[in-house]
Amino acid sequence: MSLFEPSVESSIAQVRTDIALLHAELTKNDLVVWTGGNVSGRVPGADLFVIKPSGVLYEDLAPENMILCRLDGTVVAGTAGAERSPSSDTAAHAYVYRNMPEVGGVVHTHSTYATAWAARAEAIPCVITAMADEFGGEIPIGPFAIIGDDSIGRGIVQTLTGHRSRAVLMQNHGPFTIGKNARDAVKAAVMVEDVARTVQAARAGGPLVPIPQAAIDSLFDRYQNVYGQAPQGAL
């Protein structure tokens, strides 16, 4: 007996597959070590999302051990994987889904260079055109917050609401990224590490040359509306 209508069950199955596969992008792009990092995705047409189990090795991830959660962060009992604990960051993901209805995917990593900026509580300045394209300006710092209540989720939502950037560097912690779906949030996680590494390397060698704000605006507008095989739209 299914818990949900067939169309929702079908969406859940698709999101489970997507989320399991997208975790491979985290290892392929050297964003995580051991069991660190997590990807989640909203189930279209339902108040549900799918997330990685806690403390499970990347090579053991499969659609059937992804965990289905409600938007309050509780696990849906009786579904595949529900015997395991969800990622210890589940409350933060849930808070984002409850408070940012346009968000379809959330990613968290401790990738090296993004976390380095976070340990300095320093926003990444926008000095490369790829960063203007993807993030529309600087990548902001979120507040210091630790696990145990909604403070991480609240910090993400407060920092990114109304901001062009799909990435926030939570102070002393690491990057969280959002996207219109899980794939888009993974792309943001890959790109935030790429720009964090490049801008750190750039500044290590001498003064940075700023990009004029009008050029940043123009690049962001074009990239969000023209790039790729179909319009993406800013989040």
What type of residue sits at position 148? G
Report the alpha-carbon distance of residue 144 to residue 131 in Å, rounded.
24
Judging by beta carbons within 10 Å of its beta carbon (0-12, 13-18, 19+), is residue 26 exposed, middle or buried? Answer: buried
Q: With binding defined as CB under 8 A, does residue 220 bind its own copies?
A: no
Q: With binding defined as CB under 8 A, does residue 137 bind its own copies?
A: no
Contact in structure between 157 and 180 (CB atoms under 8 Å) = no
Give the active site residues. 133, 227
Report the alpha-carbon distance of residue 228 to residue 223 in Å, rounded.
8
Closer by beta carbon to its own copies, 103 or else 199: 199
Judged by CB under 8 A, the stretch of 15-23, 69-77, 139-147, 157-165 that binds its own copies is 139-147
Q: With binding defined as CB under 8 A, does residue 174 bind its own copies?
A: yes
Q: With binding defined as CB under 8 A, does residue 154 bind its own copies?
A: no
Residues 6+ apart with CB under 8 A from 177: 106, 107, 108, 166, 167, 168, 185, 186, 188, 189, 192
Q: With binding defined as CB under 8 A, does residue 53 bind its own copies?
A: yes
Site residues (vs its own copies, CB under 8 A): 29, 33-36, 53-56, 84-85, 88, 110, 112-113, 115-122, 127-130, 144, 146-148, 171-174, 187, 190-191, 194, 197-209, 211, 215, 218-219, 222, 226-229
